[in-house]
Structure 1
Amino acid sequence: MDRRGSVTRRSPGLSRVAPRLLKGPLVKSIRVRALLAVAAAVLACVALTACSSPVSLGSAATVGDQRISSSELNAEIEEYQAALKKAKISEAQLQIPSVPRAILLQLIYFRQFEQFARRNGVVVTEGDVDKFITEQGGMQQIGPAALSKGVPPSETRAWIRAAIIYQKGLERFGANLTDQASVQAAQMKLFGQMDAVPVKISPRYGTWDTQRGLVEEARFGKPAAGTDAATPQDPSQQQDPNQSDPAAGQ
């Protein structure tokens, strides 16, 4: 977070977060890593005070050729809060100081990944998503992890799709998991393509900068005291869901 209160430079979604994955030991599964990267991208941009009131009617954002309405955002916020209540989790327990901001960013990133995939011929089928879920222990494992990262239950499959697109995108651009330099080069190509998907934010919610993401305090409040969005948790240090419950310790 810079002194103006905006998020430090990063490409939409992952460009300043995913490279951090290379700092720690390689996790066993690129798919697990991809999920963590997508989650960390959002967490890196939500270091704001809690603000859970539904937003105003109208358009919240436009991502490429897709519109995110404020009513859609409201519905996602309400669904997420209901899921937290059902799971007996308070917003104060989450590493998401602003639920509306986290969810808006998720919706933006999911659409960016989908449009990146469409433009680059990256195909992810429902079977791919189902296979991913099975390999990671089922929705009973993935669901709580997604909820802890600010993903409404109805968007869990979109979260997984984004992770698979990220994985396939790296492969498309020549990433070799045993060669960090090739992974970094592939990431930069992927991020450049993601930047080609334009994002416009309603002035009510802030503005979008391709280098810094969602900026300005706008609807979502001021940065929380002592919170630094420039130093998100390194996903490579998180637990591998292949070894234990991915929601554990969240």
Structure 2
Amino acid sequence: MHRRRRTALVLTAAIAAAAPLLTACGNDAHPGAAAVVGGQRITVSQLENRVNEVRSAQRAAVPDQAQYEQVVASTSSLTRDTLHNMVLDRVLHRAAQDEGISVTRKEIQRMRAGLEQQAGGAKGLESAWLQKYGIAPARLDDNLRLQLEAQKLASRLGTDTTQPAFWKALSKASGELHVDLNPRYGSWDVQKSSRVDAKTPWVREVSTAGGQPLTA
């Protein structure tokens, strides 16, 4: 089976930089912005809307109030994690563009169909992505596009997503975009190549060959 079909790159909900992707300027040059990427603002309102999408999906999936409160408590960093999802999406998209990489709708549908089959259907896949990675059902296709871009980028560079060459490409894209992260949502220690308030890698390669394909 083709490696691309064997492996899915999963963007997790608990994100930390595994390479010096972003820099936080720590100033108030962009009031109302959660981040500025490539001169384009990710507003606090946009971030809150994205977080609300996840919370609404979680609430619908867990109708019991006590259980829902447990879910909320276990994902207390959702706002910061969601912002990092949004920023890293743009960084990776830029890195893919730099290499002439694009992803078609048909490719996304093909990946989704394969994952749905292994997850027991569309609802099973949506539930797994929501629970494990904090991805709302409405954003699932966007996340799969991100995964495909990462896979294609690694392949184009003759490496994989765990190797320095891949992260170097993302660091280059980050520099081109002049990422400015509002410090209230976290910061990066460039020397240690990690986020100061998280420990979990933001990408993982997950086997999709039989068994449970969505193991974190």
TM-score scaled by length of structure 2: 0.70
The reply on whether 1:106 has 2:75 as its aligned counterpart is no
Indicate which of 16, 31, 44 corresponds to 1:70.
44
The residue type paired with residue 61 of structure 1 is A
Question: Partner residue of 1:140?
Answer: 123
Moved more, 58-67 or 196-205: 196-205
| Contact in 1 for aligned 2:186/2:195 (Cα 8 Å) | yes
The residue type paired with residue 123 of structure 2 is Q
**Mapping of residues 6-155 of structure 1, within 5 Å:** 29-30=3-4, 33-36=7-10, 38-39=11-12, 42-45=13-16, 58-88=32-62, 90=68, 92-93=70-71, 96-137=75-116, 139-148=122-131, 149-155=133-139
C-alpha displacement of 1:160: 0.8
| Contact in 1 for aligned 2:93/2:146 (Cα 8 Å) | yes
| Contact in 1 for aligned 2:91/2:170 (Cα 8 Å) | no
* Alpha-carbon separation, structure 1, partners of 2:185 and 2:200: 23
- The structure where helix makes up a greater share of residues is 2
- The structure where strand makes up a greater share of residues is 2
Question: Partner residue of 1:201?
Answer: 181
C-alpha displacement of 1:209: 5.3
| Contact in 2 for aligned 1:170/1:183 (Cα 8 Å) | no
C-alpha displacement of 1:202: 2.3
Question: Partner residue of 2:20?
Answer: none
The residue type paired with residue 157 of structure 2 is F
Q: 1:32 to 1:189 in 2, by over 3 A?
A: farther
* Alpha-carbon separation, structure 1, partners of 2:5 and 2:171: 21
Question: Partner residue of 1:243?
Answer: 210
TM-score scaled by length of structure 1: 0.62
The reply on whether 1:230 has 2:199 as its aligned counterpart is yes
C-alpha displacement of 1:201: 1.5
| Contact in 2 for aligned 1:77/1:103 (Cα 8 Å) | yes
C-alpha displacement of 1:243: 2.4
The residue type paired with residue 92 of structure 1 is Q
Unaligned runs of 5+ in 2: 18-30
- The CA RMSD measured in Å over matched residues stands at 3.5
Question: Partner residue of 1:170?
Answer: 154
Q: 1:34 to 1:191 in 2, by over 3 A?
A: farther
Unaligned runs of 5+ in 1: 1-26, 47-56, 216-222, 224-228
* Alpha-carbon separation, structure 2, partners of 1:183 and 1:231: 14
Identity %: 27
Moved more, 92-101 or 140-149: 92-101
C-alpha displacement of 1:206: 3.9
| Contact in 1 for aligned 2:14/2:200 (Cα 8 Å) | no
